[in-house]
């Protein structure tokens, strides 16, 4: 129906109908832009873990992970991207109701809100090589 153009196709998969075989698209371009409201990256437990590489931001372990409010809620800390970090239960308990500086537990990286493109490119797992020129990445993420 000429609504989209095939830019890259899979070398291993095809789409089959009753009478025809089509290449499996991996990258397509729409001929007419369909506007969808921008929502950004949803702040969920799993997305915060992905952003932080599934590692405690204090000690680096990947065991018994939970979320930590960098500035504790009892001191006015908000529940947002910039104040939540992945922490193991041990470090979260040790830090308690203190800031990282007061507890002498520096963060490996400051919490931040990832952009949608950054989240797709860096945190969503395996990216098909055909998408790399469109995502601004130099190599595949595995």
Model confidence pLDDT, tens digit, residues 72-131:
999 999 999 999 999 999 999 999 999 999 999 999 999 999 888 777 777 766 767 777
* DSSP-assigned letters across all residues of 71-114: S-GGGT--SSTTTEEEEEHHHHHHHTTS-TTTTT---SS---PP
Confidence at residue 141, expressed as pLDDT on a 0 to 100 scale: 45
Confidence at residue 61, expressed as pLDDT on a 0 to 100 scale: 96
Q: What span, in angstroms and rounded, lies between the C-alpha atoms of 84 and 130?
A: 34
User: pLDDT-derived band of residue 138, with 50, 70 and 90 as boundaries?
Assistant: low
From-to residues of CATH 1.10.30 in the chain: 38-130
Q: Is the pTM for the entire model greater than 0.85?
A: no
Q: What is the mean pLDDT of residues 39-48?
A: 90
Residue 87 contacts residue 58 (beta carbons within 8 Å) = yes
* 38-130 CATH: 1.10.30
Measured CA distances, 80 to 45, 67, 76, 113, 129 (Å): 11, 11, 12, 8, 33
């Amino acid at each position: 129906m000429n609504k989209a153009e095939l830019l890259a196709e899979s070398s291993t998969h095809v789409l089959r109908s009753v009478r025809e075989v089509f290449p499996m698209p991996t990258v397509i371009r729409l001929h007419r832009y369909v506007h969808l409201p921008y929502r950004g990256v949803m702040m969920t437990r799993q997305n915060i873990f992905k952003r932080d590489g599934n590692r405690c931001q204090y000690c680096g372990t990947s065991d018994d992970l939970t979320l930590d409010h960098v500035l504790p809620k009892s001191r006015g800390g908000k529940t947002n991207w910039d104040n939540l970090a992945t922490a193991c239960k041990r470090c979260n308990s040790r830090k308690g109701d203190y800031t990282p500086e007061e507890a002498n537990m520096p963060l490996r990286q400051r919490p931040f809100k990832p952009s949608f493109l950054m989240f797709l490119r860096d945190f969503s797992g395996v990216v098909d090589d055909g998408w790399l020129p469109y995502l601004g990445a130099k190599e595949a993420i595995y």
